[in-house]
Structure 1
């Protein structure tokens, strides 16, 4: 859990700094620090679901078939 929290802190800090450095606005940096990691979390969840589906299909197609 420590590693997860550490990554979240780094991610939010990078999002803030990118927004701030590009615009000079603390408000834009703060908004990005809140919104971008949240969107990435949802995208990652959907990505994982898609990969699990792909892995299941691959596992099913690699199983030997029994002769009738």
Structure 2
């Protein structure tokens, strides 16, 4: 858990630093630093939910990405 928290803090510092370097605005950098992880969290929820959808599985099987899940016998 310590490693995860450390990575999270590093991510926030990096996001703030890069955004501040690009914009010169503490306000914009602060907003991006906290909005971006929130947006990623919401998007990840939908990404994860769609990952096992039959169309997503078919796409991965066709293009060779992802691991194939064993199909039930029957």
Q: Quick check: TM above 0.5?
A: yes
TM-score by length of 1: 0.68
Higher relative CO (Cα under 8 Å, sequence separation at least 6) belongs to: 1
Question: Once superposed, what is the RMSD of the aligned Cα atoms?
Answer: 2.4
Higher-helix-fraction structure: 1
Q: Which residue of 2 aligns with 1:47?
A: 47
Mapped partners of 2:48, 2:38: distance in 1: 16
**Which portions of structure 1, spanning 4 or more consecutive aligned residues, are displaced by more than 6 angstroms?**
none
Residue ranges of structure 2 left out of the alignment (5+ in a row): 58-67
| Offset of residue 59 of structure 1 | 4.3
* SS of corresponding position for 1:63: coil
After TM superposition, the structure 1 = structure 2 runs for residues 1-68 of structure 1, keeping only pairs within 5 Å, are: 1-51=1-51, 53-54=52-53, 59=69, 62-65=71-74
TM-score by length of 2: 0.64
| Offset of residue 10 of structure 1 | 1.6
